[in-house]
Structure 1
Amino acid sequence: MSRNNGIDRRQMLKLAGLSAAGLGLTAAGCGSGSSGSGGTVTIRHSWWGADDRAKKVQQCVTLFEKKHPKIKVKTDFQQYADFWKKFNTQAAGGNPPDVIQNAVTFLRKYEAKNVLLDLKPQAEKGNLDLTGFRAGLEKFAEIDGRLFGVPVGSNSMALVIDEKVYEKAGVAPGAGWTWDDWYAGMQKIKNGQGIAGDAGPHGVMYLYDLMLRQNGKAFFTEDGMGFGEAELLPYWTEALARVKSGVYADPKKVEQIKPASATAKGLSAGEFTWDNFSVRYSAEGKSSYGLAPIPTTDGKRTGQYLGSLMLSGSARTKHPAEVATFISFMTHDPEVARIMGYDRGVPATTAQFEAYEPADAPNKAIGAYETAIADAGVLEPITPHPAGADVIEAAFLRIGTDLSLGKSSPEESVKQFFSEAKTALASN
């Protein structure tokens, strides 16, 4: 749920269904040791991302080692898909990294297999600071009273718009606007400028989750799906009609330009994505781009929450105190914020948020957007994601795309999705 250095989420999800089979690790006797000898301890930290993130993380590690000379941190990074392949292999072999970058779609999957370290005891011992987090993010990775991760940054869903197109059309999105307002605006844009209103949001699981939340439901419950065929069928039926009418962009053209975004390449006037992904648009496109509020059902509730990348510890680490010390440093030290910027989202703690003031317009807009939605009081707790959520997210995107390409009918698509979701939940 955070920026992946230009990697489109659709690419990321191609291998999101990586199996965690064979990762049933036993936590007994693990995660209870420390150095105890007074000598130097080495822990391993692994994450996904491109070279620019790697350079920033390495700078933070160097700073950490200067402040904690008895703790050395060995680093390793890969692209998103390669990271999870390697992590699966390491965890299955009983030798995972001590600290990993993690995301909510994988949290319960690996917690259920005893791969992750409960960080609560380390907080109670004073090795991990859980104070000063924005908007309750310190509880983001809490499951049944245990803590399996600590957020390093935050993001929330937003509508990225081509400001010039919207301005020319006279469409001015504002807080509390409705889905009817949004659709009317898209029609006005299409009829007046011949540009599709949206890239096609019907495969974005997290957007559909907000729509469900606005109506008292959610995409997931703690152990399964929070909606059924009766909700999804009209949504995908309507989406296909909008593709055919040109209100949503031509899906074939959208696929052809990937990994570039449809809005940046002028195929649509807007698209829904995570707010901190929006930095890519000014680099890819030639217009000016902004963040618009999420449309609502009732003019009030957006269903939004703050998502986050997080740092998790391994249940097999021999150095839980040092792991907690490192995680605490990465989430609280002001200099870390100045090094990382918004690379992994808006800093999760107030100290780091205040320590870094972005100079560029896209990042300024992201910070302002998250401040605005927090001040508006629209943020809610995130719904827990069950084990298998990563596979389900990938299926939702793939099947939604196939639907728009005419490969299956709405009825067939809905049945296929729920069949795959049932299998994913049963196999985790």
Structure 2
Amino acid sequence: MGTNRNVDRRTILKAAGATAATLGLASTTACGGDGGTSADGTVTIRYAWWGAEDRAQRINKTIELFHKKYPKIKVKTDFQPYTDFWKKFNTQASGGNPPDVFQNAIGFLRKYDAKNVLLDLSEQVKAGNLSMDGFRAGLEKFGEIDGKLLGVPVGSNSMALVIDKPVYTKAGVKPEQGWTWDDYHAAMQKIRDKAGRAGDTGPYNVMYLYDLYLRQNGKAFFTEDGLGFSEADLTDWWTKARKSVEEGLYADVKKVAQIKPKSAVTGELSGGEFTWDNFTIRYTSEGKSEYGLAPIPTTDGKKTGQYLGSLMLSASKRTEHPKEVAQFIDFMVHDPEVAKIMGYDRGVPATQAQFDAFEPTDEVNKAIAAYETSLVEAGVLEPITPHPAGADICEAAFLRIGEELGLGKRSVGDAVKQFFTESKTALAS
């Protein structure tokens, strides 16, 4: 369910944990233990996530609250940068010792379900240990795969177009809900001609945006068991992208690479770029302009193809304490005080109670909340297609190969062939 989307997704996802890299591999809180039960009946569960030091501090505060409500459940924590998290998780899962509860994302549900790692939490819902009521905009279905509840959302986000507002004003462009791709491309020309910079960083290697474009046209990036588009579809997408770079509508990829990790928008190479709405706080911290959120262009003026994405909490099938794990997840997604501590660190709170409990005071988070509210009110949100096992590898390939195309290292035909070759291998494994 990352920013300068051309700080590529790998960097985006790692950015959440970059600070933590200096802290060593893990941090623990609460009484220790190995996931067992002590003589007085106290249970210890292990909770792991990826993220930076700030996220760790927030989560540890929420765990302190949990301990007050459930003094017989102690939580041992482990947080790391994104890539290190999955390396360690894979080792633990392969060894039959994954954490009891852990942060997860849509691209990994089928993968780890197929490996028999994930606990179906449906039985805990039936037992009353976990409530799936009160979620916003259908998010309660986000972690369901083949009738099994494999993840519970903790926050939401959706794709948006982040814009440099003064640049758009200077170009006379005012994007509104329902604008089309033709409107968007005309806007890119105005920004280039009137503001003197590329209109967009270039959306050609943003998998989640291409997914929306496909969904607008009756397809999707993924089906439940593979890719939902053809080589001809991708050839058309990447051919248009290359032409837009040549025409100066999209930013020069070499220049974008030179200013990383700064984004092309804050580096004043482009007037906007597509990314997840809750990543937008970085632009204010990086740049000196005023930034805002604009709606996704459409094919027909109505259908955006959008959905609310989410980080989730999943549980290990090997946990000795499924009830306690379920109670922990329930607390983390429903308790209003948790929302006040976490804010929008993991996206806009997934449940209405937590959404109502945290009222942002800064303009960036207010804009994020307003943007997601506008999507609900506009009625454009749809269910997401569950990603197949291997989706994470396909996403990384799309990002890397798309960037190579932009840098001139590959022709369109070669890029398309390489992507499909790598994806078919990943999806078949």
TM-score, normalization: structure 2? 0.93
d(CA) in 2 for partners of 1:234, 1:227: 11
Residue 358 of structure 1 corresponds to 360
Q: 1:8 to 1:60 in 2, by over 3 A?
A: farther
Q: Counterpart of 1:273 in 2: which secondary structure?
A: strand
**Is the 2:3–2:275 contact (alpha carbons within 8 Å) kept by the matching residues of 1?**
no
| Aligned partner (choices 65, 78, 81) of residue 79 of structure 1 | 81
Residue 303 of structure 1 corresponds to 305
Letter in 2 for 1:352: Q
Letter in 2 for 1:384: P
Matched, 1:42 2:44: yes
Q: Counterpart of 2:78 in 1: which secondary structure?
A: strand
Matched, 1:111 2:120: no
Residue 378 of structure 2 corresponds to 376
Per the TM alignment, residue 41 of structure 1 is displaced from its structure 2 partner at its CA by: 0.1
Residue 11 of structure 1 corresponds to 11
Residue 92 of structure 1 corresponds to 94
Per the TM alignment, residue 37 of structure 1 is displaced from its structure 2 partner at its CA by: 7.8
**Is the 1:61–1:73 contact (alpha carbons within 8 Å) kept by the matching residues of 2?**
yes
**Is the 2:37–2:44 contact (alpha carbons within 8 Å) kept by the matching residues of 1?**
no
Letter in 2 for 1:323: V
Q: Counterpart of 2:280 in 1: which secondary structure?
A: helix
Q: 1:50 to 1:351 in 2, by over 3 A?
A: same
Output aligned runs, 1:123-134, within 5 Å. 123-134=125-136
Residue 221 of structure 1 corresponds to 223
> CA RMSD of the aligned region, Å?
1.9
Residue 211 of structure 2 corresponds to 209
d(CA) in 2 for partners of 1:144, 1:377: 26
**Is the 2:108–2:389 contact (alpha carbons within 8 Å) kept by the matching residues of 1?**
yes
Letter in 2 for 1:112: A
**Is the 1:101–1:311 contact (alpha carbons within 8 Å) kept by the matching residues of 2?**
yes
Per the TM alignment, residue 214 of structure 1 is displaced from its structure 2 partner at its CA by: 0.3
Residue 155 of structure 1 corresponds to 157
Q: Counterpart of 1:317 in 2: which secondary structure?
A: coil
Per the TM alignment, residue 159 of structure 1 is displaced from its structure 2 partner at its CA by: 0.2
**Is the 1:108–1:387 contact (alpha carbons within 8 Å) kept by the matching residues of 2?**
yes
Per the TM alignment, residue 196 of structure 1 is displaced from its structure 2 partner at its CA by: 0.3
Per the TM alignment, residue 93 of structure 1 is displaced from its structure 2 partner at its CA by: 1.0
d(CA) in 2 for partners of 1:239, 1:276: 25
**Is the 1:203–1:397 contact (alpha carbons within 8 Å) kept by the matching residues of 2?**
yes
**Is the 1:2–1:155 contact (alpha carbons within 8 Å) kept by the matching residues of 2?**
no
Q: 1:3 to 1:420 in 2, by over 3 A?
A: closer
Residue 263 of structure 2 corresponds to 261
**Is the 2:13–2:82 contact (alpha carbons within 8 Å) kept by the matching residues of 1?**
no
Per the TM alignment, residue 256 of structure 1 is displaced from its structure 2 partner at its CA by: 1.4
Matched, 1:172 2:174: yes
Q: Counterpart of 1:359 in 2: which secondary structure?
A: coil
d(CA) in 1 for partners of 2:223, 2:36: 37
d(CA) in 2 for partners of 1:419, 1:12: 25
Residue 274 of structure 2 corresponds to 272
Residue 343 of structure 1 corresponds to 345
d(CA) in 2 for partners of 1:8, 1:330: 30
Residue 422 of structure 1 corresponds to 424
Q: Counterpart of 1:239 in 2: which secondary structure?
A: helix
Residue 18 of structure 1 corresponds to none
Residue 188 of structure 1 corresponds to 190
**Is the 2:171–2:191 contact (alpha carbons within 8 Å) kept by the matching residues of 1?**
yes
d(CA) in 1 for partners of 2:346, 2:154: 7
Per the TM alignment, residue 171 of structure 1 is displaced from its structure 2 partner at its CA by: 0.1
d(CA) in 1 for partners of 2:364, 2:62: 24
Per the TM alignment, residue 10 of structure 1 is displaced from its structure 2 partner at its CA by: 3.4
1:213-253 per-residue CA deviation (whole Å, 9 max, x = no partner) reads: 00000000000010011111011011011111111001011
Q: Counterpart of 1:134 in 2: which secondary structure?
A: coil
**Is the 1:42–1:73 contact (alpha carbons within 8 Å) kept by the matching residues of 2?**
yes
Q: Counterpart of 1:54 in 2: which secondary structure?
A: helix
Residue 20 of structure 1 corresponds to none
d(CA) in 2 for partners of 1:264, 1:366: 18
Per the TM alignment, residue 38 of structure 1 is displaced from its structure 2 partner at its CA by: 6.5
Q: 1:390 to 1:91 in 2, by over 3 A?
A: same
1:132-157 per-residue CA deviation (whole Å, 9 max, x = no partner) reads: 00011111011111100100000000
d(CA) in 1 for partners of 2:266, 2:112: 36
**Is the 2:2–2:275 contact (alpha carbons within 8 Å) kept by the matching residues of 1?**
no
Q: 1:235 to 1:304 in 2, by over 3 A?
A: same
**Is the 1:158–1:294 contact (alpha carbons within 8 Å) kept by the matching residues of 2?**
yes
Identical aligned residues as a percent: 71
**Is the 1:199–1:268 contact (alpha carbons within 8 Å) kept by the matching residues of 2?**
yes
**Is the 1:254–1:267 contact (alpha carbons within 8 Å) kept by the matching residues of 2?**
yes
Residue 23 of structure 1 corresponds to none
| Aligned length in residues | 409
Per the TM alignment, residue 9 of structure 1 is displaced from its structure 2 partner at its CA by: 2.0
d(CA) in 2 for partners of 1:154, 1:212: 21
**Is the 2:163–2:294 contact (alpha carbons within 8 Å) kept by the matching residues of 1?**
yes
**Is the 2:278–2:368 contact (alpha carbons within 8 Å) kept by the matching residues of 1?**
yes
Residue 139 of structure 2 corresponds to 137
User: Which runs of no fewer than 5 residues in structure 2 stay unpaired?
Assistant: 15-34
Matched, 1:390 2:392: yes
d(CA) in 2 for partners of 1:243, 1:424: 30
**Is the 2:62–2:338 contact (alpha carbons within 8 Å) kept by the matching residues of 1?**
yes
d(CA) in 1 for partners of 2:279, 2:363: 14
Q: 1:181 to 1:368 in 2, by over 3 A?
A: same
Q: 1:188 to 1:370 in 2, by over 3 A?
A: same
Per the TM alignment, residue 13 of structure 1 is displaced from its structure 2 partner at its CA by: 6.8
